[in-house]
Structure 1
Amino acid sequence: MDTPRTKNASEGIAPMGILSLNEMVAEPESRYECPVCLNWLRDPVITTCGHKFCKSCITSWLQNSGHCPIDNINLSMKVDIFPDNYTKREIQEQRMSCPFASMGCSVKVTPLDLDAHIASCEHNQPQTSSQCVPCSFRVLGCKEQFSSQEEAQEHVKRDTMTHLSYLVNAYSEMKITNDMSNANIDPKEQEAMVLWAPDKDGESKPPSLTNASALIRALYERVVVLEQRNREQDIVIGNISKQLSALTVAKRKQNNEMLLRYCMGNYIWRIDNFKTRLDAMLKDHSKMLYSPGFYTTPNGYRFCVRLNISPQNPLCFALHVHLMKTDYDECLEWPFNGRISFSMVNQYEPELTQRDTMMSNSNLIAFRRPAAEICLRGFGYTEYAVVSDVVRNGFVKDDSLVFRVHIKCV
């Protein structure tokens, strides 16, 4: 690997539907996911070779290629594509809670209707105020105030345990107050107190033998009531813990998306569990690894990196970049024009890091505006590095392989 060798940048095509490294929690189950757009199946159809797609996705795909994106079997829209009404009914029976459920929205909709509901949800409103913003746990005892809603939300996320304590105390006080308002004292407790009441001198005496069994029964029933209350509190705390876990996952996902959007075209791709992933690619050369999509600027071009076994030379890796669709593509200049740099980091001897640079080619489809979520054609090296050299020469450390990618518009 330390001997320089010439590599020619070329355009390569990437089959869709290959497992990506940036799987997310909210993604659909694999049986409900379209291998082309990687979203919920819309108007699902099934092919004669047994694969499911969105009708619009497979129609667009076959217009360009004429074969199945999964196994490359030739397909015809007229004779090989059939509506999958069973899967369509299953998806329509799925129900998802509104993301604003914590703000009072109780609506549950199908996955395909969720985006439309979010856009029209009455709880999807920005909260602004020119005055001090109190903590949302104010009624439970938190006295903190803030100058903006963002600071208040950060406070709620940061002081989780304190607010949880407020909530548990409030719940306990509420139960006690309700018990006292419904009856001055619990009937079972009152029965026990009567059976073991103090005499005029203020000294408690054991109950008579005739009342002993009644006292034991009353105490037992009182213990049962207390245990039931304890279980109810455990359920409440368990539900709160689940909500906190969901908030933590959502926050981590948001942070990752922010890093990808504001990396300014400088992205470090760490491939963990590399040995397992490599073994899978060596057994099935159609398997490929994709990085998360990262941006050249916050509202600029979006790229991802693909690593796979070279179809021309099974002893080598192929490395390509792919353009991805964004919400601001209509504001960008097409085709993309810029410089693309790869660095495969040698984690034991950094001076042996492999570096390569290539310029875009405006005549290639790979740099035109993407028509799908990810451009079908990539640009890079079909024989980037010898597999055995990558494994043997210090590029893999702690079962991780690291690439540094820099994409700059010119």
Structure 2
Amino acid sequence: MATGSGSDRLKSCLYQPPKNSLSSACRQPLGSGIEPLEGGYAEEFVQPVDDKYKCELCHRVLCHAKQTECGHRFCESCLNSHLRFPGQVCPADNDPLDGTEVFNDNCCRKEVLGLMVYCRNAKMGCKLQMALGALEGHLNDCPFQQVQCSRSGCSELVLRQDLSDHLMYKCKYREVKCKYCQKETTLAELKSHENSECPSSLITCLRNCGSRVHRAELKGHMSECPKAEGCCSFSNYGCTFKGTNQRTKDHEKQSVHQHLLLVLFKNKALEEKVSELESEVKEKMTALQKLSSQIQKMEKEMSLTSQSVNRSDIKLNQSQKTLAMHADKLRQVEHELLERCKLEENLKRDILFVKYSTDNLSSRMSTLENGQSTPCLYRGNSGPVSVEHQVAQHDNMLSVHEVRLAEIDLHFQVLETASYNGRLIWKIRDYARRKREAVSGTTLSLYSQPFYTSSFGYKMCARVYLNGDGMGKGTHLSLFFVVMRGEYDPLLPWPFKQKVTLTLLDQGPCKMHVSDIFKPDPNSSSFRVPLTEMNVASGCPLFMTQTVLENETHRYIKDDTIFIKVTVDTSDNPEL
């Protein structure tokens, strides 16, 4: 279904761009490669550019040209920045600018993209000239365009034609092999690799013994280096000698007797320690046996406790079952008590009724005995009681007739305003008051009187939201079409397929009516057989902006009244 706003139709009346004025190539947006972030194009053009292709704000060549109602052209970004604040005027003629009266100037955009420009890399040596629209494609292949090296870590910019030489011979991040271990690394990291990582590079002994060894063998060399300091092999037995490896070897050869004495003393101390540990182990074993016997006793007690717990659980289950039985019996007793209470109340009422009847009979008997009968109670239609009853019946009948007369009068009013040719002219008075009620939420929408496609055709009405509905709430007038349940629906074809035209009538001399035409969607529930008084409304939530509707330039509102016209195509209306 086509939906359109009234402002769009007013734009079409003010400006109509030429059809097919933009080729398929120009319709595609230029990439970010040549489009400026803000303002017009800053390219160097081959010929001087006519002022008609320049923005009235930035005075550069138009980028995404926009044309205002006054006929002047602006860059899209310049105009958006200019209209960011209300009350702006056109810098060319000081006319007020309205953001809603702006149009895409596709014809101008095509002409601008056809202007000849120099390549951006002219200073670098490129002599080519091309249309502005082809500049981006040329820059993607221009040999004089500066591009960044593609290797990770390299941020150097080179000409595209020199990129291959840079990657092969000049880039600091190109892959090279270490001359020692043949590992591949970048040229920038090669020296650091050789100085700190390469396992095959030769390094000098840190103790300045004069030896050069591979980095992988350095750890083993440090332990065997002649200048390495170490302790005597019998340091664990008490020897405190420290020195280089050579002096330590000489010391071990010369101090065999002293080392044996140290070993002997250490052995005696160990034997004493072992005897002490054996005595402690015996004590621990006795204590362990005692603990084992205690554990066995506790296990027996635990088994007995678990058996008693099981017996308690069984007794608890039995008690719960007994309690449940007693609870059921208690409920039954309560139910019986309630029934007896009800029966007792019924008996009391019966007794009171019998007592009342007895008293009444007694009083009547006493009255008869005294000869004071009341013939007016038994005179039939001539007595006062029957007359009052008849008057009450007549009053009831009169009220029923008044309701039926009101319904008939309402039905006649609807029939007088109803049309049977598929057309509705809906007059809505007191627009300002009804608009305030819609804004406050008192009355959100209004329904028109019903109208028909023929005497035995579809029954329909219109529905309007003066303050908008859905996407148009608060900004637009929303207009909808409603299919209602009619008396001849079983004889009509469904779904409803007639073309519908919604129109807001201009009461001024210009007759700039705003219309929207749609063809019903056969799959929508809005156009199927109504199961209630009316189906869901379908139409235009953005039918017309409230600013255009209430603008005094147009005469959509006159004498606080608007007119809405609904036309249903009856050319293929089914005949019964």
TM bin (shorter chain) = 0.3 to 0.5
More strand by share: 1
- Which has the higher Rg, Structure 1 or Structure 2? 2
TM-score normalised according to structure 2 size: 0.28
More helix by share: 2
Which structure ranks higher in relative contact order (CA pairs < 8 Å, sequence separation ≥ 6)?
1
